[in-house]
Each structure stands twice: as C-alpha cells, then as structure tokens.
Structure 1
Amino acid sequence: MPPPGVCLNIIEARQYQDGYGSIGNPDRFLGQDYQMLKQYCINKGLRYLDETFPPDRSSIGQGILKPSDMARVEWLRPVKISHEPFFVRDGISRFDFGQGILGDCWFLASIGALTFQKSIFAQVVPLEQNFNENYCGIFHFRFWRFGKWVDVVIDDKLPTVNGRLIFVQSKDPNEFWPALLQKAYAKVCGSYTDMDAGTPAEAMMDFTGGVHMRVVLSNPPHNLWQLMVNAGQCKTLMASGTASGQQPINTTLPNGLVCGHAYTVTGVKQVKSRGNLVNLVRLWNPWGKGEWNGDWSDRMTIEDFCRHYADLDICGLNPDFLDGSPSSKWNSSMFEGRWVAGTTAGGCMNHRGSFWTNPQYRVKISGQHSFEDGEKDILLFLMQKPDKKKRHLVQNFHIGFSIFAKGKFPASFFTSHAPIAQSKTFTNARDITEFLTVKPGEYLIVPSTFEPNQTSSFIMIIHSKTEIDC
C-alpha cells in the first residue's frame, strides 16, 4: 500500500507534466470539446444547446427567485435580445457591466480587477468569439480549477424577464461578454444560485491560477503600501471587502460604502498635499454606482482604507509582487493528496495520537539563502478540493500545515519534535497561504485539518526562490 500523501491519480499527474491541464492545453470540463461541438453545429446548421447546463430552472437553482418570478423567466440568445449583438464592443472595461439580482458582487469585483490585466483577461475570455462569422450559439471560457485549467463550454441562452437580463447586466445592451462569462462560471459552480455569496479571492484565483495572499486590514503589515504598489506593477488582481458590522448586509452607509460588500481595487497613487505625501487607494463598486464620499472623493487614504475595509486579497500569476521584483525566478512544485477519515485525516498537532497519519511530504530546499532584512523565500499554498459539484454544498474545514526538520517520521517523532514553521492559524477557508523563511535543507511538510476524521482532497503548492527537490 502506498504511504499517505502519494498522488491519488498517477495518470492525471503524468498528463499535467505533459502540459495537459495547462492554460495552453486545458482540460475539457465535463468532457466537452469546444472545437468539435462548434464544427458539428456548423456542419449541421444548428444552434448549440448545452444539455449539461440546460436553459431551465435547474441551472438557475433554488432560492434566488420566487416561484412566480421563475415562471416569467425566458431564456433568450443575444441575437434575440439585441438587433446587433457584440461579444466585445469598444474594448474591455470595468464600466461595461453592473450587478443584477444575484448576490455575486464578489465575482463581479473579480471581473472588475480582471479588466485591468488584458493578457490575463484574454486567457480567461477568448476574444476571437463573436456573433458574426460561423456563429452557432456556442461559446467557451477558461478557469483554473483546483490545480488545472479547464475549458468550459456553454450555449448562449441567457435568463431574461421581459427581454431584459436578470443577472449581470451590460451598460451597453448590445455587449454580452459579461453575461456569458457569468454563465460559464455558474456552470462550474453548479447553478446561478450557487454563485450567491463568496469572496473575490475565489474567482481571482480561478482567473489566474497563481498566488493568493490575504491581508487582514485591522492588523496590516508595516509594508502594506509598498505591497500594494508592487502588486499594481506586477500584473495582479486586487479586491477588498467591507465588514457587515452591526448593519444589515448591503446597507449603504452615510460615507457611501456598502456593508458586507466586495470592491475592486483599481489603483494606488501617492500625491503631495500641503507639503506631505499622501498614499491613496482607488476602489470600484460592482453595483456600478455608489462610491466613497469622504476625503479625496473617488479615492481614499490608506488609513481610511484600513479603517473601513476588512481585508485585501491579492492574486498574481506568480509571487513577484511579494518582493516587487519581476526579475525574481520562482520554482514551483505541486502535490495532490487526500485526508480520509479513519486513515489519513489525523487532525492538527493537538491530536498527537493521530497527527502522524496525515499525508507527509519530504522536500529538499537547495541553493544559497540570504537572511538580510528578514527576507522570506518560501511561499506555501494549501487549497481544499471539494467532492461536491454544487458550490453551496461544499463544506470547507479549518486547514493548516506544519513543517519539520529532517528526521524519521513515525508516530514517536511528532511527540518529541516541534515544527520549525507552521501556518499562523488553522483557517476555515478554501485556501491558505504563508510566506516563510526556511534555510536550505531537508524538511517534512504535513498538511492537515484542525480536527481529525474530516475527509477532503487537497492540493499543495510550494513556491521557492531556490531549487526544490521532492
């Protein structure tokens, strides 16, 4: 029997090494091949109809619409909604769309951030698509889902009432990339209703497949401003959220901000005012209206930003934004594993009798290391991989990890050795990231849930400025 923590699917691992599941060779979501399906429709003179995400109430889901409203929904193609539909018209902008009745401000804030990075946008949204040449009602989009890129195929039937879109709505009624992108993401989530409530980091990770870092703004790092400046220069996506506080979610406060709401960070700028340097942050509301009305109007000082927002999520293609050096070369290794109740789900170190049963990964960090200015050089990312197809049914556990210096690792090892590094807390989230200082050497990494006997698959990615041997 293989030891805990080995790759669960050797075939998938080999395919990934061969480029399968990469952005250039994405996996086919639900086995659907966009090119083959499109060519079939062209040859047969058909308009594509997606049976895996049909234009009916099952794709909308339960709870978002009243039965009386659901009965009024009509699924229409853009060619029936508009006399002259465009996939993209006059470029891409965060001002192209506004939120509909769905509580997916987190997703739309992520799209807002995506519009600032044209090359990343083009990876997610293939821009050659249109309603003219060889149009047959089929579109596709690409998302990074739990360790691999997937190509998601949809038909272009959209839910409407009285001929108007009920979910995300374009400011230009003839432009449809926002509504079609939202539909593709609803498909991977299970339904439109499954997109209700979330955090921008989830979608931003799915747009980049890169590195995610969350900053709690009630206790920000001393270099927060420089981190945001670096992020702005390194092709990252940034979003932030307000706390709900004592007010109901979506309540607009006198200062113009909305409680429990996601915003896109659209820029940072340093200006001089009355002889002093002022650090300013600009944010955008996915509602398409309603902004901060305090000092500096459409911008706010970083002090007000930390005071009125709860957290900041930064997602980049790589960890360059952490040290502001695009020339940095990072090495990455990915592992897949699974915690299984009763066998490989031992819980955290509080549970000494079972902790040793967790998946264990030996790694060797090579090369030179500089500890000048407390430099950190290892980024460890741990993500839960759900078994459920419906997003709202997914149960995230509190997860974390411990890193030990080399040694022999039976149960007795963990009763006499302390970790040399570990996650600050076990967090109830889809993923966690820690930026660490680790000397060259051999180590054992043990990812775990906080409590034992909690079953879930996971992926773990190690980014290092030096070589990694696994």
Structure 2
Amino acid sequence: MASIKMIHSLCEAGGEGSPSNPVKFKGQDYKDLRNTLLDEGREFVDETFPANLQSLGELEETTAEELKEVEWLRPREISRRASFVVDGTSRFDFKQGDVGNCWFLSAIGALTLHKSLMMQVVPLDQSFKDDYAGIFHFRFWRFGKWVDVVIDDLLPIRGKRLVSVSTNSQKEFWAPLLEKAYAKICGSYADMIAGNPPEALKDFSGGVHMSYVLSKSKPDLWDVMDRAIQCQTMMGCGTFGGKKGKEIFSEFGLVDGHAFAVTGAQQVESDGNKVNLVRIWNPWGEGEWNGAWNDKSELWRTVRRDVRRECLRVCNDGEFWMTMEDFCDYFEELDICCDSPNFVDDDAECLWDCSLKEGRWEVGESAGGCDNKNEEFWTNPQYRLTIKGKKGHKNVLLSLMQKPDEKYRSKVEYHYIGFTIYKLPPKTPKGHLPYSASENIQLIKRSVFSSTRELIELHSLEAGEYLIVPCTYDPDKTASFLLTIYSKAEAEAQVDGGHLRPSRQKAARTQ
C-alpha cells in the first residue's frame, strides 16, 4: 500500500498530537495517574466524567424512572472473569446496547479488521490483572491531532446488564470501555445518539474519507471497493430511512435508517457466471438480509465447496452477503476511509503529499461569507497551492472540516461551508490578496456548500499556482476549521500561508 508524505502538519512526527505523543485530553496523564494510584493502593474515580446521570445523559426510550435504576459498576464487579481482551479483538466481541449509536459501533466493527489502527486506538497493554488500578485510556484523532482519553472503568448497569454496548462473552470489556472513552469526548453517552459512520472512521484514523451515493453509483464502484480492500481501508454503509426504509425492513429483514460495516467484498463463480458479493455486518449482532445469497440461500450450492465454507463460517452473527446490485438498491450510502486516497482511481502505487492547515473565521475580521463579488469575501482565510506537474485525471483532494467550540456533540450546529479555487497569474505577489486583485485571477471552481462536519471534493488541476479560499455561506459566522490538501506526489504541491491580515482596513458592513 502506498503511503502519505506529510509536507506540512499540525504535529510533526514525535511532536505533541502525533500518534506516538498524543495530546492529553483534559490534561490527564494516564501513566502519571496510574502510578500514583498504584502507589496509594486506590482505584481511579474520574471526576471529569463522573459516574452519574449527567454523564449518561437523556437516553432515547428510557424513562426518568428507569434512569434512576442505573448503577455504575466496575467490570470485576460484573464478572469474576473480567478481561480487557480475550483471544484478540473482533467485531463479534460485542453488540449494541440501549444507546442509539450504531454509527459508532459499526465503525468499531470496521476498525477491528485493521490491527495496526486498532492498536493505536485501543492500547492492548491494559489489564484487569497486573497492576490494576481501575484506569484505562484510548486514543482518537481529533481535528488534526491524536488525543489520549483517560477513563475510570465504572460502567452503567440496569437490570443486571450493561446500558451501553454489551459484551458477547460476558467477560470481555474493551468495547464498553472504548465506548465510554468516546462518550467522554462527546460530552455524555446520550451525545453519541445519531450520527454517520464517517465521523467515527475519521476519528479512528485521521484518514481520507469518501462517500458514494449508491443510487448514483459510479460504473467502477466495484473496482473502487476492491482497491479499498487492497489498501486496507475501513468501510461503512447505511440503509434508507423513512417509508422506503420501512418497506425494505419488512420484506428483506434489513433495519431501516441503520448503520452497518462493510467487512468484505469477493467475486465468486456461480454456475459459470462471476458474481460480485459484498459482506455486511450489523452492530446489533443480529438482523440479517434474507434475500439472494443470504446465509441459508440455495445459491451457495452453486459455488465451490471451499469458497462456500470460507464465506459461511459462522451464521446468525449479524453478518451477511448480498450481491453488489442488491447492495446498491437497498443501501443508501457507502463510506470509505483510508490513510491515503489511493482507492479513488487505478493509480494504486501513487504517493500522495498531505498538508494540514488550521484556520478560523472571526466575525469582523475573517468571516466574509461566500459572495466573491463582495469586498468582505476577500477577508476570508486564503491558502496557496503550487502544482508543478500533473499525472492522472484527479490529482488533488480537498477536505474542509469544521472544528466546533461546543463541548457537547448533540448541541453542535454546523455552518454551511465550502471553498472557492482560483488560478493565479504568474508572479502573483505573495501574501493575502485584497479585493482589488480579484479581477486578475481566474475562477476555477466553487464547491457545493453543506452544513456538514467535513466537506470533501476531488479536483483535476493543471500545472500552475492556485488560491484556495475556504468560507462559510453566510458572512459573520465564527468557527474554527481544518483544511487538508492531498495531492499526487508528481504534482509537487506546496501550500503557503494561511490567513494574513490585509493591509487595508476592513470596510464597514452596510445593510
């Protein structure tokens, strides 16, 4: 698999925020805390995420009286045989609990297929036996930097079962503890309700994310998926909601408006014909497709015995196969997340450069909105990109991600964001371009605007120097953002600058 070369990064290798030196979330140092606890013979109680109803939040379909029944226990109080990991980590170790976070759990299912990433997110040198102090930690990529999240191991229990994700073996607790760490990032367990797999996939890797609307799928989508598997990507998907989703649920056994993980894709030969099959996993641990090529389908008798045995090793585990055609008909969207964009085309050996830039739109300073005919637009942050050569068709991928100031995930309101790309004439002076210079540059592309956490677009740019202007649709919206530019190494891309104060004073707004 080709790699990514970081040309400008928020955190250099080994620096704070890198995989080997993550930022300490809420300033909590896992090693220091653990050593102190062991010296004092105490078990950790996390005051920054206390074991109470505030940390649990308002769960869907759970009454106030039922919430009062919740108690918080440590795994060793739940099971005498409590273990962090038993025989490795797998998507079959757990299933969803009362928290409506299938988007997050489906992403965990995809994560378990990639052991190096799994070890980054879930440090495996943790135990309930040796030097146990009731403290654990997990790592997530958050807006350009890796963070280390410390938790205690008090888990919410009601009616003798976990309120959160449950453990299938009744004794393996890495998944419930991982969920608790992410709940701490989100603000509470309830703040994890509702979402899309790409958010968690990104937070597990910091990688490139692409979404495909399956009803408008590209003719080469199967090739894209095949390359994605070769590149060791994580993949998720979701079913239709609303009336259409209800009809699918009743007829074919699928869950409407639900997130799944894509765990494989394989071409088999059936009666002399090649059939493209997709393997999908339901984080409920049950609820499977009952159409063509389901676990009990007679169609499996038309393939070689060794292929059938390999594909159907376990039944009734929430995982199933279906044809690529049925996948595109009955699922709404496919999400792919990888550390490089190599899966997007057939240039699988290409090396990509990656540059990350932090920025912020500030009311009255650098939040000019999207109207490039307006002088205020040119107060937005600006970034320059130099393309010295080109190979292939799509050679630049742009990602614009909002970084919310809100502590609680459920309260975040994303602005409509986008960006505009201009081609600059040769020898354009460096620095922040003012409105007066806008007539001399060529508009190349104005992106769609979307109220999403991350906006991603692929572009084909010829050799030359470009100006990228990220902005909100409406002016005077304050927010932080992360701009990531991936370019094929042959392009020799360089990113200069960011938001530099224009030399002139900003004109007053008029109504």
Q: Which protein shows a greater Rg?
A: 2
- Among 70, 81, 86, which residue is 2:83 paired with? 86
Q: Kindly state the Cα deviation for residue 189 of structure 1 after the two structures are TM-superposed.
A: 0.3
Output one character per residue of 1:116-145: Cα deviation in whole Å (capped at 9) or x when no partner. 111110110001111110000000000000
Letter in 2 for 1:455: T
Counterpart check, 1:279 vs 2:302 = no
Asked if the contact 1:351/1:452 (under 8 Å) is kept, the reply is: no
- Correspondence for 1:398: 416
| 1:270 partnered with 2:296 | no
Select which of 59, 76, 101 maps to 1:104: 101
Partner-residue secondary structure (3-state), 2:360: strand
Q: TM-score, normalised by structure 1?
A: 0.92
Whole-Å Cα distance in 2 between the matches of residues 84 and 68 of structure 1? 31
User: How far apart are 1:362 and its partner, in Å?
Assistant: 1.5
Determine which of 40, 44, 48 is the counterpart of 1:48.
Answer: 44
Q: Secondary structure at the match of 1:356?
A: helix
> How far apart are 1:310 and its partner, in Å?
1.1
State whether structure 2 residue 305 is matched by structure 1 residue 319.
Answer: no
The residue type paired with residue 456 of structure 1 is A
TM-score (ref. length: structure 2): 0.85
1:130 aligns with 127
Structure 1: 5+ residue stretches without partners:
1-12
Question: In the TM superposition, what whole-angstrom CA distance separates every residue of 1:388-447 from its partner, at most 9, and x where no partner exists?
Answer: 010011111221111111146322444675521342x21221101111111222110011
SS of the residue 2:251 aligns to: coil
1:389 is matched with which residue? 407
Shift of 1:385: 0.3
Secondary structure (helix, strand or coil) at the match of 1:222 reads coil
Aligned to 1:204: 201
Count residues in correspondence.
453
Does 2:376 align with 1:354?
yes
Alignment of 1:276-425 (within 5 A): 276-297=273-294, 298-323=320-345, 327-349=349-371, 352-366=374-388, 368-371=389-392, 375-407=393-425, 409-414=433-438, 417-423=441-447, 425=448
Equivalent residue in structure 2 for 1:255, among 244, 252, 257 = 252
Query: Aligned partner of 2:50: which letter?
Result: P
Provide closer, same or farther for how the CA distance between residues 258 and 349 of structure 1 changes in structure 2, counting only shifts above 3 A. Answer: same
Aligned to 2:487: 464
Counterpart of 1:330, as a letter, is W
Q: Which residue of structure 2 lines up, in the alignment, with residue 3 of structure 1? A: none
- Equivalents in 1 of 2:409, 2:247: separation in Å? 22
Matches within 5 A, 1:54-73: 54-64=50-60, 65-73=62-70
SS in 1 for 2:262: strand
| Shift in alpha-carbon separation, 1:230–1:192, aligned structure 2, 3 A | same
CA contact (8 A) 1:75 1:160 kept: yes
1:39 aligned to which of 27, 35, 40: 35
* Letter matched to residue 354 of structure 1: E
Q: Measure how far apart 1:247 and its partner are.
A: 5.9
**Equivalent residue for 1:4?**
none
Change in CA separation of 1:422 and 1:256 when aligned onto 2, cut-off 3 Å: same
Q: Which amino acid aligns with 1:410?
A: P
Contact 1:250 1:261 in 2 (8 A): no
Counterpart of 2:190 in structure 1 is 193
- Cα–Cα, structure 1 residues 76 and 306, in superposed 2: closer, same or farther, change >3 Å? same
Structure 2 CA distance, aligned partners of 1:52 and 1:16? 29
**Alignment partner of 2:455 out of 424, 432, 451:** 432
Q: Counterpart in 2 of 1:30?
A: 26
d(CA) in 2 for partners of 1:142, 1:356: 38
Secondary structure, counterpart of 1:175 in structure 2? coil
RMSD over aligned CA atoms reads 1.9
Partner SS, residue 179 of structure 2: helix
Of the structure 1 ranges 345-354 and 261-270, higher mean CA displacement relative to structure 2 is found in: 345-354
Q: Which runs of 5+ in 2 are unaligned?
A: 1-8, 295-319, 497-511
TM-fit CA distance, 1:255: 0.4
Range with greater deviation from structure 2 (275-284 or 119-128): 275-284
How far does residue 225 in structure 1 lie from its aligned partner after superposition?
0.7
- Whether 1:95 aligns to 2:113 is no
Deviation track 1:41-66 (CA, whole Å, cap 9, x = no partner) reads: 00000001111001011100124432
Structure 1 residue 218, shift from structure 2 partner? 1.8
